[in-house]
Amino acid sequence: MTNNRKTGSVLVVGGGIAGMQASLDLAESGFKVYMVESSPAIGGRMAQLDKTFPTNDCAMCTLAPRMVDVGGHINIEKLTYSEVVGIKGEPGHFRVSVKKKARSVDAEKCTGCGECTLKCPVLKAKSPVVLSEYDAGLVRRGSIYIPFAQAIPKVAVIDRDSCPYFQQGRCRACEKICQAKAIDFDQKDEVVDLEVGAVVLAAGYEIGDPELKKELGYGRFANVVSSLQFERMLSASGPSTGTVLRASDQKPPKKIAFIQCVGSREIDHNYCSSFCCMYATKESIIVREHATETECTIFYIDLRAFGKGYEAYYQRAKELGVRYIRCRPSSVREVPGTRNLVLRFEKEDGSLTAEEFDLVVLSVGVRPAPKAKGLAEIFGVELDSHGFVRTHDMAPVETSMPGVYAAGVLSGPKDIPESVMEASAAASRAMALLAEARGTLVGEKRYPPERDVSGQEPRIGVFVCHCGKNISGVVKVAEVVEHARTLANVVYAEDNLYICSTDSCERIKQKVQEQDLNRVIVASCTPRTHEPLFRDTVRQAGLNPYLFEMANIRDQCSWVHMHEPEKATRKAKDLVRMAVAKARLLEPLYSSYVQVNPRALVLGGGLAGMTAALELAGQGFETYLLEKSPVLGGNLRRVRFLPDGTDAQEKLASLVAQVTGHPLLHVYTNAEVVDFEGSAGNFKTRFTSSGEPHEIEHGAVIVATGAQEYRPSEYLYGQHPGVITQLELEERLARGDFKARSVAMLQCVGSCEQVHGYCSRLCCAQAVKNALVIKEKSPGTSVFVLHRDMRTYGFHEARYGEAREKGVRFLRLAEGDRPQVLPVNGRVKVSLLDDILKAKLSIEADLLVLSTGIAPGEGNKDIAQKLKVPLTQDGFFLEAHMKLRPVDFATDGIFLCGLAHSPKTASESIVQASAAAARAATVLSKPRIQLEAAISQVLDENCDGCAYCVEPCPYHAITLMEYAKDGGSKKTVDADPAKCRGCGVCQATCPKRGILVRNFRPDQLSAMVEAALAG
């Protein structure tokens, strides 16, 4: 008899940030994952970056914990240096053939010591010259190599195409050097067959070839580099350890030019690569912060700072002295002798000029992954005209093949947060497809027995991280280690290049055993991202995870005192000394568990809310959807045309029908949240619907409360019938009562201005969309779009080009100019200063259409207070981490999506809503979840029930209680472990030491203060 039950495993193709996110979401939600990565290690393009914008976080420090999570996850099987060669079957029952290429190194034996990579003769041979892919061709590598310091797996691989043994039958030097006897020249390729129910394609992209732009000098002039090469120059793990040096003379440049849109926004690549403007801005900021005398100039066409926080980041760059020149230089030539570079370009007054620079950086666009065509043929998915995997605006992660989903830049240009969200969205679609098979193939991670250290004298091990040059470029790490060795109870101290790497974590475990350590201190970067990793490492070594302490000597020393190495080093010693003082007093702590209520609550019934609710219901979770208005639909009710031509109202009607007809979905309109309490897995919400009270219990919450259109008071809006907004224009076009010979559209009304200093992201694409509809319905109508920058990123660029071809005229406003609008004979006269002509122009139009921005929802403050989640200074909800946790709140179990998060298109709202559902599923799919152990503890003998701690508790975790004692009664307080977040407010307000926070007890904090003063 055939078993028709679907297979509870998923194939993820790609080990970059999108592949890792999809894998973790799936594995944490009860599915077995097979990750196939063509390169020898996971990490992808993000592993090559220096920092991420707009937070300027170290990219590898951000990425490494995610890599370790994937590397150590029991339900993720990694097949690196492998490729898919065939697939058969149908959704729910695929059989995939994967070729595991021979590394010529036994992964079980290789220790990752790197000795073989240093002694490979190819490193110094005249031929062949093999360039490092990781360092973007800036330096050589041997034929045997480890991709990068934190590689997972950290196993060497032999490049057979350049290896003298495989090419000429000679050498075998690595075999003689390897003490682990890991070299295996006889290793063969192996094909394995995998049974999976669904596929997520996240194979990434490649950087465009800058050498194709001959006039810009790449490949001819030594001091012209690509943006990726410059990223490696900036990186602490790069070939020059973070110091930018010219290739021609190894001197630091004093003037750097960045040329944008190299290989993007061109006839043969008519799309915007989406993140180039911002990474050039980031690179300029980093240069200016580290070398204030260095001048940075960015040559651009339109500055596309459209993401959350990007406009403020762009303004910050200008404040730091980064110069922006709006033009595309026509040529780059080299100056004989100095080898400086001369750029010819047009000045703002229209005259041609030339300027000399020491270094030129080409901001190169993205190209489809080289393997995209092959994957498309194997999986039967369609590619678009550019070679990216084709998806649909309203089904943005679904390919043409059922059961096969796409995420990340494989389906089009996008930045890290969008790639992460798409990965989670693709995971959500796979979860829905395989809902019945959830949990059928997963295992549970097991730890060794925990050592009993009670009564033992503290034996402390201190591990200090270089973090490449992020720390050691400022802090004298060796001095910090030596200082640690002088401290009482420290029996072992050492430094590591990257302590978050897999091999370093293994070394910590090894030293715990060898040195009989019962306390561990890591001095490195922020506990916010790395503490869970090191706690888990300590637990794997047989110690309680709370016998670990962390000193943040990156954020608090090397970053904030980057120009004061002596003071930074002294402060690092102080922090380590304080950590040791606390570590002596650490005690084992134990977590409790709570059962998870597998129901979800979604706040908001717009496009994002309905999508999230349907995704959850499709995965089998009972879901409650609350909408404050009488009907579902939100802002989508006013949209008539979607960018791809889809009728928005047909889409809305279909969505509403699915939501209201789903048996697991309960919809409440005219709803208002009255009270909210609980913690992840166990929330309770009281609300009213049409005045009637209701109460529900649920395990997760998704906030999708939307936003609103900015209602202008300027430009005669509300005073003249010819002044309307884009949404009002759409309604007229849809009704068929559009009659105008001339239309002017004014961009950035309520965005990128004093009222709202952020970009509303969708306004430019909306203007182009409506301009094209006008041209289709009334070709003779003149359409003018008045703008500062046309931010038609990604594939919106093609529509922008189409609009220009159809006669839509785009006029650029001079910086700081606000058009004057006057009524003239029933029409509207718009006067502006044209930035290109440097002349005053006037347009008389029948309609002035204001492209109004997105304003945060009016109810955001109320929801934020009730759920105890934060808002940004602009009034949108604040995610836990901009890059890697874009749909999570810092509060566990609560997620966000759609316009509540930030302005975005309908397609992007769908992606984020699906992503939020996937993240919620990681909670709802578990029978129980572990609570934090470092939380409040009431000392009943000290507490007299004064209740000073009750009101200040931001999580309402403390209640006053009274019980019988010794014939009388005793007042005290009780702390709910499920609600407490360990913030310490109660401990700070208690006058009697009747309540404390475990792991932050007063005696521990006092010891730290005394240690600081002792220095």
Residue 4 has pLDDT above 90, yes or no: no
**How far are the Cα atoms of 423, 796, 904 from residue 793, in angstroms, in the given order?**
20, 6, 12
Percent of the chain with pLDDT over 70: 100
Residue 625 has pLDDT above 90, yes or no: yes
Element (H, E) at 879: none
Task: Give the chain's end-to-end CA distance (angstroms, integer).
Answer: 76
The angle subtended at Cα 580 by Cα 579 and Cα 586, nearest 5°, is 85
pLDDT of 530: 86
Q: Give the tens place of pLDDT for each residue, 817-831.
A: 889 999 999 999 999
For residue 795 the two structure tokens come to: 């594939």
Span 969-980, mean pLDDT?
Answer: 89
DSSP state of 635: G
What length is written for the chain?
Answer: 1015
Residue 547 has pLDDT above 60, yes or no: yes
Preceding peptide of 819 cis, ω within 30°: no
Residues pairing with 360 in the sheet: 224, 257
Q: Are the C-beta atoms of 520 and 458 separated by less than 8 Å?
A: no
For residue 974 the two structure tokens come to: 């009780």
* Secondary structure, 3-state, 658-684: HHHHCCCEEEECCEEEEEEEEECCEEE
Place of tokens 């993820």: 12
Distance CA 488, CA 835 (A): 68
DSSP state of 555: I
Place of tokens 């005249």: 126
Span 618-622, mean pLDDT?
Answer: 97
Q: Are the C-beta atoms of 791 and 812 separated by less than 8 Å?
A: no
Q: Give the tens place of pLDDT for each residue, 277-318.
A: 999 999 999 999 888 999 999 999 999 999 999 999 999 999
Residue 961 has pLDDT above 50, yes or no: yes
Mean pLDDT of the chain: 94
Q: How many CB atoms lie within 10 A of CB 912?
A: 31
Q: Give the tens place of pLDDT for each residue, 903-912.
A: 999 999 999 9
Distance CA 902, CA 875 (A): 9
Pairing of strands 723-725, 847-852: parallel
**How far are the Cα atoms of 140, 313, 415, 609, 889 from residue 886, in angstroms, in the given order?**
37, 18, 12, 16, 8
Residue 1 has pLDDT above 50, yes or no: no
Q: Which of 654, 472, 490 is nearest to 577 (CA)?
A: 490
Residue 2 has pLDDT above 60, yes or no: no
Distance CA 721, CA 848 (A): 9
Span 633-646, mean pLDDT?
Answer: 89
Q: Are the C-beta atoms of 801 and 812 separated by less than 8 Å?
A: no
Residue 452 has pLDDT above 90, yes or no: yes
The SS3 assignment for 523 reads strand
Place of tokens 């008539």: 640
Q: Give the tens place of pLDDT for each residue, 218-253.
A: 999 999 999 999 999 999 889 988 899 999 999 999
For residue 801 the two structure tokens come to: 């080009």
Q: Are the C-beta atoms of 204 and 388 separated by less than 8 Å?
A: no
For residue 17 the two structure tokens come to: 């940030």
Q: Give the tens place of pLDDT for each residue, 734-781.
A: 999 899 999 999 999 999 987 899 999 999 999 999 999 999 999 999
Residue 600 has pLDDT above 50, yes or no: yes
Single-letter residue type at 856: P
Residue 645 has pLDDT above 80, yes or no: no
Residues pairing with 785 in the sheet: 745, 810
Distance CA 159, CA 142 (A): 8
The angle subtended at Cα 131 by Cα 126 and Cα 137, nearest 5°, is 130
The SS3 assignment for 357 reads strand
Percent of the chain with pLDDT over 90: 86
For residue 935 the two structure tokens come to: 């939380």
Cβ within 8 Å of residue 178, ≥6 positions away: 115, 116
Distance CA 858, CA 708 (A): 8
**How far are the Cα atoms of 272, 302, 307, 310, 653 from residue 278, in angstroms, in the given order?**
12, 12, 9, 7, 38
In which band, very low, low, confident or very high, does the pLDDT at 371 lie, cut at 50, 70 and 90?
confident
Place of tokens 């995704």: 615
- H-type helices in 211-300, by residue range? 227-234, 276-290
Pairing of strands 323-326, 198-201: unpaired
Q: Work out the burial of residue 259: count CB atoms within 10 Å of its CB; fewer than 13 is exposed, 13-18 middle, 19 or more buried.
A: buried
Q: Give the tens place of pLDDT for each residue, 714-728.
A: 999 999 999 999 999
| Side-by-side strand order, sheet with 723-725 | 723-725, 847-852, 742-749, 782-787, 809-812
Span 894-900, mean pLDDT?
Answer: 98
The dihedral over CA atoms of 334, 339, 340, 341, expressed in degrees to the nearest 10, equals 20
Q: Give the tens place of pLDDT for each residue, 791-820.
A: 999 999 999 999 999 999 999 998 888 899
The dihedral over CA atoms of 180, 186, 187, 192, expressed in degrees to the nearest 10, equals -150
DSSP state of 11: E
Residues pairing with 428 in the sheet: none
Span 382-407, mean pLDDT?
Answer: 96
Residues pairing with 603 in the sheet: 626, 703
Q: Are the C-beta atoms of 997 and 987 separated by less than 8 Å?
A: yes
Residue 3 has pLDDT above 80, yes or no: no
Span 957-962, mean pLDDT?
Answer: 91
Span 510-539, mean pLDDT?
Answer: 92
CA quadruple 977, 685, 24, 531: dihedral sign:
negative
Number of helices (H), then strands (E), belonging to the chain: the values are 23, 50
For residue 296 the two structure tokens come to: 């940075």
Q: Which of 555, 550, 528 is nearest to 474 (CA)?
A: 555
Q: Give the tens place of pLDDT for each residue, 169-212.
A: 999 999 999 999 999 999 999 999 999 999 999 999 999 999 98
